[in-house]
Every structure is written in C-alpha cells, then in structure tokens.
Amino acid sequence: MTMSTDSAALILEQLADALIFADTDGRIGGWNQAAADLFGYRADEALGQSLDLIIPERLRPAHWRGFEAAIQSGKTRLSGKPTLTKAIHKDGSKRFVEMTFALVSDANGKPVGSVAVARDVTERVERERAQGAA
C-alpha cells in the first residue's frame, strides 16, 4: 500500500502517541497533537526549539552524547526498542515516558534527523513503584 503525502500527514497528526521529529541539530521540526497533549506545548511553541524543551536538565548530557553518536554513526543504540525515560511538561512536572527512536535518512542514507514516538506511562510507573514499596 502506498500512502499519499496528505494521508501520511493526517495519520501522523492523529496518531495516539506523541511524535517528535528533530533535525541533526536537535531542533524540533515535527510535533503532533499527541505531543502537545503529553508535553503541554502547542506545535507553534515547540517547533524550532531545542529538544531540551522536554528533557530534564540532569539527563541532557547523556541525551546529547547519544543523539550525536547516532547522527554520526547512522545507528541508534536501542535499534527501535522502547526505553523508559523522564520528560518535562510545560508546567514543570516530570513525566515518565516510554519512547522509541529512529533516525530519518535522505535518499543517500545520510541522517537528516531523528524521530521519537512517546507515550505517557507515569501512572503505570507510579503504581508499580507503590506496589513494590508496599
């Protein structure tokens, strides 16, 4: 099945999971409605901003090391496997998010950015922690 560009854009916008595209400099170039719902920033507030917008300060050095390594090598460390991490909402609250990452490459295989798909798993993580503490 081949999708039209219009269909693909509609699907990405209406996807239940947050979709974030960042260029090779880590600037947000794609932000769907689910990302706005999850992180609290409208697309017009997020587009053009650094990914630092949603990355907790203490996680930024590790994030940028991994991001740069992926852009340079053309491979992500997790190869599309989901990972649990923390993110920041616009209101300053922390969220646990499960994310998958992939590189986006041009026709010649050169990375042009990365895409992340995220979902809020805060309630599940907090419930599991509470059960473990009981």
pLDDT digits (tens, 9 = 90+) for 22-49: 999 999 999 999 999 999 999 999 999 9
- Model confidence over 75-128: pLDDT tens digits? 888 777 899 999 999 999 999 999 999 999 999 999 999 999 999 999 999 998
The DSSP element (H or E) to which 124 belongs, if any, is helix 122-133
The domain made up of 14-133 is a member of CATH 3.30.450.20: yes
Q: What angle do CA 85, 28, 73 make, to 5 degrees?
A: 70
Residue type at position 68: E
Q: Global pTM? A: 0.88
Q: What angle do CA 1, 102, 77 make, to 5 degrees?
A: 140
Percent of the residues in the chain that have a pLDDT greater than 70, as a whole number: 97
Asked if 124 contacts 132 with a C-beta cutoff of 8 angstroms, the reply is no
Residue-range domain boundaries for the chain: 14-133
| pLDDT confidence tier of residue 134, bands split at 50, 70 and 90 | low
